Amino acid sequence: MKKTLVIWLWLFCLSLMISSCEGCENTRPAPLPQKVDITASAYSELYINMMNPTGSMPEYRVKVVIKNGDQPLKFDKVVAVFIPSQGQPLVQPTIKYVEGQDQTPGTTGELEPFILQPQESEEFNYQTNGYTMDLLADVGDYPLQFSITLMYQDKAIIGPYHANLPDLAQLPSYDKSLSEGKELKATQLEFF
Protein backbone atom coordinates (compact mmCIF):
# COMPACT_ATOMS: atom_id res chain seq x y z
CA MET A 1 0.00 0.00 0.00
CA LYS A 2 2.76 2.42 0.99
CA LYS A 3 4.80 1.61 -2.15
CA THR A 4 1.75 2.11 -4.38
CA LEU A 5 1.04 5.50 -2.78
CA VAL A 6 4.65 6.61 -3.34
CA ILE A 7 4.47 5.57 -7.01
CA TRP A 8 1.18 7.45 -7.52
CA LEU A 9 2.60 10.57 -5.85
CA TRP A 10 5.71 10.38 -8.02
CA LEU A 11 3.58 10.04 -11.18
CA PHE A 12 1.38 12.95 -10.09
CA CYS A 13 4.43 15.20 -9.51
CA LEU A 14 5.89 14.16 -12.85
CA SER A 15 2.63 15.03 -14.64
CA LEU A 16 2.60 18.46 -12.96
CA MET A 17 6.17 19.11 -14.09
CA ILE A 18 5.36 18.10 -17.67
CA SER A 19 2.15 20.15 -17.81
CA SER A 20 3.90 23.26 -16.51
CA CYS A 21 6.83 22.98 -18.94
CA GLU A 22 6.80 26.00 -21.30
CA GLY A 23 7.76 25.23 -24.88
CA CYS A 24 7.36 21.48 -24.33
CA GLU A 25 4.40 20.99 -26.66
CA ASN A 26 6.45 18.89 -29.06
CA THR A 27 7.95 16.68 -26.36
CA ARG A 28 4.74 15.64 -24.64
CA PRO A 29 3.31 12.24 -25.50
CA ALA A 30 -0.13 12.03 -27.01
CA PRO A 31 -2.78 11.95 -24.30
CA LEU A 32 -3.90 8.40 -23.64
CA PRO A 33 -7.62 7.94 -24.06
CA GLN A 34 -9.76 6.33 -21.42
CA LYS A 35 -10.85 3.74 -23.91
CA VAL A 36 -9.95 2.92 -27.49
CA ASP A 37 -11.54 0.01 -29.31
CA ILE A 38 -9.43 -1.61 -32.00
CA THR A 39 -11.14 -4.24 -34.10
CA ALA A 40 -9.86 -6.13 -37.11
CA SER A 41 -11.50 -8.22 -39.81
CA ALA A 42 -9.73 -10.57 -42.20
CA TYR A 43 -10.58 -11.48 -45.80
CA SER A 44 -8.88 -13.18 -48.70
CA GLU A 45 -8.38 -11.07 -51.79
CA LEU A 46 -6.85 -11.69 -55.19
CA TYR A 47 -3.48 -9.98 -55.61
CA ILE A 48 -3.07 -8.98 -59.26
CA ASN A 49 0.58 -9.15 -60.29
CA MET A 50 0.88 -6.34 -62.86
CA MET A 51 4.22 -7.65 -64.14
CA ASN A 52 2.86 -11.17 -64.63
CA PRO A 53 -0.96 -11.41 -64.49
CA THR A 54 -0.77 -15.21 -64.64
CA GLY A 55 1.20 -15.00 -61.38
CA SER A 56 -1.74 -13.50 -59.49
CA MET A 57 -2.46 -15.15 -56.14
CA PRO A 58 -4.65 -14.88 -53.06
CA GLU A 59 -3.54 -12.52 -50.34
CA TYR A 60 -4.61 -11.53 -46.83
CA ARG A 61 -6.56 -8.31 -46.44
CA VAL A 62 -7.03 -7.00 -42.90
CA LYS A 63 -9.34 -4.09 -42.15
CA VAL A 64 -8.57 -2.34 -38.85
CA VAL A 65 -11.04 0.07 -37.25
CA ILE A 66 -9.85 2.31 -34.42
CA LYS A 67 -12.77 3.77 -32.45
CA ASN A 68 -11.89 6.43 -29.95
CA GLY A 69 -13.27 6.67 -26.43
CA ASP A 70 -14.03 9.79 -24.40
CA GLN A 71 -10.89 11.91 -24.90
CA PRO A 72 -9.14 13.17 -28.05
CA LEU A 73 -6.60 10.69 -29.42
CA LYS A 74 -3.48 11.86 -31.27
CA PHE A 75 -1.07 9.54 -33.09
CA ASP A 76 1.20 10.03 -36.09
CA LYS A 77 1.79 6.47 -37.27
CA VAL A 78 -0.06 3.17 -37.38
CA VAL A 79 2.27 0.20 -37.73
CA ALA A 80 0.77 -3.05 -39.00
CA VAL A 81 2.96 -6.15 -39.15
CA PHE A 82 2.31 -9.58 -40.65
CA ILE A 83 4.51 -11.90 -38.56
CA PRO A 84 5.53 -15.44 -39.55
CA SER A 85 7.00 -17.67 -36.83
CA GLN A 86 10.25 -17.84 -38.83
CA GLY A 87 11.67 -15.49 -41.45
CA GLN A 88 11.10 -11.81 -42.03
CA PRO A 89 7.92 -9.94 -41.01
CA LEU A 90 6.11 -7.65 -43.42
CA VAL A 91 5.99 -4.19 -41.78
CA GLN A 92 3.47 -1.68 -43.13
CA PRO A 93 3.49 1.77 -41.50
CA THR A 94 0.71 4.25 -42.26
CA ILE A 95 1.64 7.93 -41.98
CA LYS A 96 0.44 11.31 -43.25
CA TYR A 97 2.85 14.07 -44.23
CA VAL A 98 2.07 17.72 -43.59
CA GLU A 99 0.75 19.15 -46.85
CA GLY A 100 3.56 20.44 -49.05
CA GLN A 101 6.28 18.33 -47.37
CA ASP A 102 8.74 16.27 -49.43
CA GLN A 103 7.37 12.73 -49.58
CA THR A 104 10.23 11.17 -51.54
CA PRO A 105 11.17 7.74 -50.11
CA GLY A 106 14.09 8.10 -47.72
CA THR A 107 13.33 11.73 -46.81
CA THR A 108 12.07 12.81 -43.43
CA GLY A 109 9.17 15.20 -43.83
CA GLU A 110 7.09 16.44 -40.93
CA LEU A 111 4.30 14.04 -40.06
CA GLU A 112 0.74 15.23 -39.72
CA PRO A 113 -0.91 13.52 -36.78
CA PHE A 114 -4.13 11.58 -36.96
CA ILE A 115 -6.51 13.18 -34.46
CA LEU A 116 -9.65 11.33 -33.44
CA GLN A 117 -12.17 13.28 -31.44
CA PRO A 118 -14.27 11.46 -28.82
CA GLN A 119 -16.31 8.64 -30.38
CA GLU A 120 -14.75 9.13 -33.84
CA SER A 121 -13.29 6.21 -35.74
CA GLU A 122 -10.77 5.68 -38.52
CA GLU A 123 -10.35 2.69 -40.85
CA PHE A 124 -7.04 1.30 -42.12
CA ASN A 125 -6.53 -1.54 -44.62
CA TYR A 126 -3.48 -3.78 -44.98
CA GLN A 127 -2.67 -6.47 -47.56
CA THR A 128 0.12 -9.01 -47.85
CA ASN A 129 0.42 -8.22 -51.58
CA GLY A 130 3.06 -10.28 -53.40
CA TYR A 131 4.62 -11.37 -50.10
CA THR A 132 1.86 -13.82 -49.18
CA MET A 133 3.60 -17.01 -50.34
CA ASP A 134 6.88 -16.01 -48.64
CA LEU A 135 5.06 -15.30 -45.37
CA LEU A 136 3.13 -18.58 -45.52
CA ALA A 137 6.33 -20.51 -46.31
CA ASP A 138 7.83 -19.09 -43.09
CA VAL A 139 5.01 -19.90 -40.65
CA GLY A 140 5.94 -23.52 -40.00
CA ASP A 141 3.35 -25.18 -37.76
CA TYR A 142 2.11 -21.86 -36.38
CA PRO A 143 -0.45 -19.40 -37.73
CA LEU A 144 0.59 -16.17 -39.38
CA GLN A 145 0.15 -13.33 -36.90
CA PHE A 146 -1.04 -9.77 -37.42
CA SER A 147 0.05 -6.95 -35.12
CA ILE A 148 -1.12 -3.34 -34.83
CA THR A 149 0.50 -0.47 -32.89
CA LEU A 150 -0.36 3.23 -32.65
CA MET A 151 2.71 5.47 -32.39
CA TYR A 152 3.35 9.08 -31.50
CA GLN A 153 6.80 10.61 -32.06
CA ASP A 154 8.35 7.14 -32.48
CA LYS A 155 6.90 5.82 -29.21
CA ALA A 156 4.20 3.17 -28.95
CA ILE A 157 1.19 4.71 -27.21
CA ILE A 158 -1.27 1.88 -27.83
CA GLY A 159 -0.31 -1.71 -28.52
CA PRO A 160 1.13 -3.73 -29.96
CA TYR A 161 -1.89 -5.99 -30.16
CA HIS A 162 -1.49 -9.37 -31.85
CA ALA A 163 -3.97 -11.74 -33.49
CA ASN A 164 -3.57 -15.10 -35.20
CA LEU A 165 -4.77 -15.05 -38.79
CA PRO A 166 -6.92 -17.98 -39.97
CA ASP A 167 -5.84 -20.12 -42.90
CA LEU A 168 -6.16 -18.07 -46.09
CA ALA A 169 -8.44 -20.66 -47.73
CA GLN A 170 -10.93 -20.37 -44.82
CA LEU A 171 -11.43 -16.62 -45.17
CA PRO A 172 -14.34 -15.05 -47.07
CA SER A 173 -13.43 -13.59 -50.45
CA TYR A 174 -13.37 -9.80 -50.51
CA ASP A 175 -13.41 -9.75 -54.34
CA LYS A 176 -16.28 -12.23 -54.69
CA SER A 177 -18.47 -10.34 -52.22
CA LEU A 178 -17.93 -7.07 -54.08
CA SER A 179 -18.47 -8.55 -57.55
CA GLU A 180 -21.69 -10.28 -56.50
CA GLY A 181 -22.95 -7.18 -54.68
CA LYS A 182 -23.18 -9.11 -51.44
CA GLU A 183 -22.60 -7.78 -47.97
CA LEU A 184 -18.98 -8.33 -46.93
CA LYS A 185 -18.77 -11.07 -44.37
CA ALA A 186 -15.46 -11.02 -42.58
CA THR A 187 -13.68 -13.14 -40.03
CA GLN A 188 -13.22 -11.08 -36.86
CA LEU A 189 -9.74 -11.29 -35.36
CA GLU A 190 -9.24 -11.63 -31.63
CA PHE A 191 -6.36 -9.59 -30.25
CA PHE A 192 -4.19 -10.82 -27.40
Per residue in 66-99, pLDDT (tens digit) is 999 999 999 999 999 999 999 999 999 999 877 7
Around Cβ 85, how many Cβ atoms within 10 Å?
Answer: 12
Which SS3 state, helix, strand or coil, does residue 53 take? helix
Sketch out the chain's domains with CATH numbers: 29-188 (2.60.40)
Per residue in 39-64, pLDDT (tens digit) is 999 999 888 877 776 777 899 999 99
- Distance between the two ends of the chain, CA-based, in angstroms? 30
Mean pLDDT of 119-144: 94
| pTM for the full predicted model | 0.74
**100/153 Cα distance (integer angstroms):** 20
Question: What percentage of the chain has pLDDT greater than the value 70?
Answer: 71
Query: What pLDDT band is residue 30 in, cutting at 50, 70 and 90?
Result: very low
Averaged pLDDT score across all residues of the chain: 79
**183/24 Cα distance (integer angstroms):** 48
Q: Are 108 and 156 in contact (CB under 8 A)?
A: no
